[in-house]
């Protein structure tokens, strides 16, 4: 529906902006790689599962990554309900399951977001493994890192 699309656009803008100005501030190539990796993983999964819609899972994957990186941040949901950010993707999944009778696209987004989060952050930092995915150097050529980032007016 149109309302669901507007809510998903808000989530995409809000949590994508938080990632870009937070962990990925001054690192546009790394953020683009996150988006490309998630998109490619979703394309492969959706082709394999014969699932034609990619927008909702892409938004959920970005939201999931932000929520995992900011696990203890308190977020607000409808009607003033507050909880830790790490529960937000699961609450959205349950909410969509109840309201729309679906939830498969949200689950795909959570799966892909977790894949990126695990390979990029969890496995190397918590399990002492090597970094399994890296931003390709060609992206740094076109979008170099910069320091002293100023945003706003």
- pLDDT tens digits for 22-71? 989 989 999 999 999 999 999 999 899 988 888 889 999 999 999 999 99
**Tokens standing for residue 108:** 């795909």
Per-residue pLDDT at 151? 57
Per-residue pLDDT at 35? 94
Distances (CA, A) of 8 to 3, 48, 57, 87, 96: 9, 24, 10, 17, 12
Per-residue pLDDT at 101? 79
What is the b/e burial string over 42-65, where b = at least 16 CB atoms within 10 angstroms of the residue's CB? beebbeeeeeeebebbbbbbbbbb
**Phi and psi (nearest 5°) for 77?**
-115, -170
Q: Residue range 63-91: average pLDDT? A: 89
Per-residue pLDDT at 123? 86
Per-residue pLDDT at 89? 92
Cβ 63 vs Cβ 53: under 8 Å: no
- pLDDT tens digits for 89-131? 998 899 888 887 778 889 999 999 999 999 998 887 788 778 8
Q: Which residues on neighbouring strands pair with residue 76, listed in sequence order?
A: 82
**How much is the pTM?**
0.88
Per-residue pLDDT at 8? 87
**Phi and psi (nearest 5°) for 76?**
-110, 140
Name residues whose C-beta falls within 8 Å of residue 65's C-beta, 6 or more positions apart in sequence: 19, 34, 113, 116, 117
Name residues whose C-beta falls within 8 Å of residue 33's C-beta, 6 or more positions apart in sequence: 135, 136, 139
């Amino acid at each position: 529906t149109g309302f669901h699309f507007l809510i998903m656009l808000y989530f995409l803008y809000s949590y994508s902006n938080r990632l870009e100005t937070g962990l990925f501030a001054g690192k546009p190539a790394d953020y683009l790689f996150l988006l490309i990796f998630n998109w490619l993983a979703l394309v492969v999964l959706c082709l394999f599962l014969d699932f034609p819609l990619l927008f909702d899972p892409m938004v959920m994957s970005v939201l999931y990554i932000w929520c995992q990186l900011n696990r203890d941040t308190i977020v607000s949901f409808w009607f003033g309900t507050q909880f830790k950010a790490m529960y937000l993707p699961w609450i959205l999944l349950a909410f969509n399951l109840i309201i729309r009778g679906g939830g498969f696209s949200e689950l795909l987004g959570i799966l892909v977001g977790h894949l990126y989060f695990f390979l990029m952050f969890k496995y190397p930092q918590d399990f002492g493994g090597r970094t399994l995915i890296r931003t390709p150097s060609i992206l740094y050529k076109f979008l170099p890192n910069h320091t002293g980032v100023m945003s706003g007016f």
